[in-house]
Chains A and B, each alone.
Chain A
Amino acid sequence: MGITISVEVNGTTYEREVEPRTLLVHFLREELRLTGTNVGCETSLCGACTVHLDGLAVKSCTQLAVQADGAKITTIEGLADNGSLHPMQQAFWDEHGLQCGYCTPGMIMAATKLVEDNPDASEDDIRHGLKGNLCRCTGYQNIVKAVASAAKAGGAR
């Protein structure tokens, strides 16, 4: 039994029929073809699937698409502005805050909210604030540097 939902993703409204068990991350990737949001651990731990839902960072692998009916969602694809990187994306680029890049979309979505909520985030705040995002490559050093430098530059936007 399909249920019709309407969601605004990155400024565009989509109306689609979904099966109730469809997870938001699969809806974004497979239905809307927004494949920047990654599927990682699938157990609400790694944060690779992090998106903004009605202004909050959430794990889209642990939501049903039907729960998001009526919501405003921003994915990694929605951050850049007319081809120019969001300051947080630029900071990850400048500080080399990634290696394989798999965690990066979720990391950036979590980091933008972190800095928006706490523009003066200390290193400690940043490390705690990114607790829900796992990176298996970098050891986090350059990620933390990137978030700190974006915060300094007023990176929330």
Chain B
Amino acid sequence: MFPSAFDYHRASSIDDALDLLASHSEAKFLAGGHSLIPMMKLRLAEPGVLIDIGRLDELKGISEDNGSIRVGSLTTHAALAASEALRRDCPILAEAAALIADPQVRNKGTIGGNIAHADPASDLPAVLVALGATIHLKSKSADRPVAAADFFVDLLATSLADNEIMTAIEIPKLGAGTGSAYLKVEHPASGYAVCGAAALITIANGSVSAAKLAFNGVTAIPFAADGVSEALLGSDAGDEAVDRAMAALAVADPMSDSYASGEYRTALARAYGKRAIRAARDRAA
């Protein structure tokens, strides 16, 4: 099993990558290749040109700003999982990254490639939506920041334009009093999320001042259960309050396939959403 023939170019800089993109129709960027190459081997993708951006060091690494953490788009899942900065100030992203596939895949797969591919069963999208992350896109003429919630537009489709490259993902640091958790039911063969629940809870003076719950794997794009999040506000986040808030969960158009029906995915969302909120609450203390 190998891909259709294509022309290969190696970009020497971000500008060079954008120039190569502009001068080749049907070109795709190749980062870690762990979404694209499998698609190409299955001939589900047959780009005529690959532009290898894998050596652009300016797109790699994790840096800290005052209130945020900037993750280069070429940062691997292994690097996310091992990042001290993330473990300290945004542990849910490190936690989710450590659950992706297996060590070999995490050594090569990148956050940018992962979210540009926008597989609904992958682990990072809902986490980034719950965090309110900003995806930084760049064309030859402009830089364009996009909220994670607006980035994912449909199954395998994003708002990344044909003339843009993703440069970084900016994540707000979670302050004191905020707990987070990512829990996942994985497909036993593929490791992809049948349901992945990302929860963030901020507790101030004994009551919930901010909450966010979002799911991977349940709908075609990350599903933000805002009704549940709002129902948690002002509560003590005790088990009864969590149960009451979860009653507000309404999943429209859940995905169905031979492994899990929409009804089953919704049931998983109900159970794992609750567990994720409880875990986030316990960590908020």
Q: Which of B29-37, B64-72, B152-160, B177-185 contacts its partner?
A: B29-37
Decide yes or no whether A26 CB sits under 8 A from chain B.
Answer: yes
Question: Which residue of A19, A23, A44 contacts B105 across the interface (Cβ within 8 Å)?
Answer: A44
B190–A45 CB distance below 8 A: yes
Can you list 5 pairs linking A and B with CB atoms under 8 Å apart?
A: A44-B34, A45-B191, A64-B37, A67-B52, A131-B102
Chain A neighbourhood of B2, CB < 8 A: 21-23, 26
Query: A110–B78 Cα gap in the complex (Å)?
Result: 15
Contacts A66-B8, A66-B52, A132-B102 known; 7 new A-B pairs at CB < 8 A: A19-B5, A20-B6, A26-B2, A45-B191, A57-B103, A59-B108, A62-B34
Interface size class of B (residues with CB under 8 A): 20 to 34
Q: Please, which residues of chain B bring their CB within 8 A of the CB of A64?
A: 8, 30, 33, 37
- Chain B residue contacts of A26, Cβ below 8 A: 2
Identify B108's interface contact among A19, A42, A62, CB under 8 A.
Answer: A62
| Interface presence of A50 (CB below 8 A) | yes
Closest chain-B Cβ to A11's Cβ sits at a distance in Å of: 22
Q: Mark B172-210, 1 if CB is under 8 A from A, else 0.
A: 000000000000000001110000000000000000000
Chain A residues numbered 105-137 whose CB sits less than 8 Å from any CB in chain B: 110, 113-114, 129, 131-133
Q: Given the complex, which residues of A lie within 8 Å of B52, measured CB to CB?
A: 66-67
Count of chain A residues near B, Cβ 8 A: 30
Within 8 A of A (CB), among B33-50: 33-34, 37-38, 40-41, 50
Task: Please tell me if the beta carbons of B3 and A21 are within 8 angstroms of each other in the complex.
Answer: yes
Query: Cα distance A47–B103 when bound, in Å?
Result: 10
Interface string of A2-44 (1 = CB under 8 A from B): 0100000000000000011111001000000000000000111
Q: Contacts of A20 on B, CB cut-off 8 Å?
A: 5-8, 50
Decide if B261 is an interface residue (CB 8 Å cutoff). Answer: no
Residues of chain A contacted by B105 (CB below 8 angstroms): 44, 59, 62, 132
